[in-house]
Amino acid sequence: MILDSPFLNHISVKEFPFLRSIKRETIDVFKLCDSPVEEYIDSAGVLADAKKAIKNRQYIDLVYDNATNETLAKVQPYKILYAKGNLYLVIKLADDSFNGGLRLLRVSFVKKIVILRSTFQKDPQIVNFLDNIQTLFTSYGASDYEVVVLALPSIAKYFRNKKHLKSQQILSDDSDGLKLSYKINNPMEIIPLVKTWLPDLIILSPEHIKKKMADITRVYQERIDKFS
């Protein structure tokens, strides 16, 4: 739970305004239950350096702990994103065409940041993208398309009263269930949601998303058969 996490030691109330509304006495009344927050120890001062560079719009060099211990030079830091219990540093690479050069790095895997003197101007398109990002899988610069799903009556009420993705729109509501529309640009924006509500959330269109979900369930069944 975020309220009990060492994560709070690295932020201020000014940075997360919603914390102002959480009063100490409500601990006896409310319990926030969400994805487990990763244990984060900022021994190298990475988060503090990232925050400073973002505020001052300064380029950074960094070392990222992945399979190759990647060194990234002169990158633009845009935001620190909190999602699914993890912190992500959003950066823009100048020489990477994949996803428009935009990458999300787990802050806990960033081993070192060096703040450079040179500064940059933020790209308004990237700023707008981050303001409207739907999931961690939303692709930068990709075109949206519609996915239509049917929530059967057994789960319809959970979608009628809550948007599970920002783009959720109700198309119809009848005895067959709740027909919903989502705008996505990456299949992984919708696939995890459908997995969560199987078998009562059904993809109606488009065909390539229906096929992808069918392939996932087929492979899963094959693995059950293999290891049972």
From start to end of the chain, where are the E strands?
58-64, 70-83, 86-92, 102-106, 110-119, 145-151, 169-174, 177-184, 201-205
Least confident piece of the model among 15-19, 80-84, 197-201: 15-19
State the chain's maximal CA–CA distance in angstroms: 63
Taking residues 128-146, what's their average pLDDT?
95
* Domain containing residue 178: 145-227
Residue 206 belongs to a domain with what CATH number? 3.30.70
For residue 60, the cross-strand partners are 75, 115
Least confident piece of the model among 94-108, 132-146, 211-225: 94-108
Residues in the chain: 228
Confirm whether 55 is domain-assigned. Answer: yes
Confirm whether 27 is domain-assigned. Answer: no
Taking residues 133-146, what's their average pLDDT?
95
- C-alpha distances (whole Å) from 120 to each of 93, 129, 180, 198 are 12, 18, 41, 46
Average pLDDT, the chain: 88
CB 171 within 8 A of CB 204: no
Residue 73 belongs to a domain with what CATH number? 2.30.30
In this predicted structure, what is the pLDDT of residue 1? 38
**How many domains is the chain partitioned into structurally?**
2
Name the residue with tokens 């969560």: 196
Taking residues 131-155, what's their average pLDDT?
96
In this predicted structure, what is the pLDDT of residue 100? 87
167 and 211 share one domain: yes
CB 178 within 8 A of CB 150: yes
In this predicted structure, what is the pLDDT of residue 176? 97
CA 76 to mean position of chain CA atoms: 19
Name the residue with tokens 């690295």: 10
Query: Which of 58, 90, 123 is the last residue in one of the domains?
Result: 123
Confirm whether 183 is domain-assigned. Answer: yes
pLDDT, tens digit, 9 for 90 and up, residues 152-196: 999 999 999 999 999 999 999 999 999 999 999 999 999 999 999
Q: What is the pTM of this model?
A: 0.81
Tokens of 15: 């940075």
106 and 162 share one domain: no
Distance, CA of 78 to CA of 107 (rounded, Å)? 13
pLDDT, tens digit, 9 for 90 and up, residues 79-128: 999 888 889 999 999 877 788 899 999 999 999 999 999 999 999 999 99
Least confident piece of the model among 26-30, 51-55, 168-172, 219-223: 26-30
CB 84 within 8 A of CB 36: no
- How many other C-beta atoms can be found within 10 angstroms of the C-beta atom of residue 23? 9
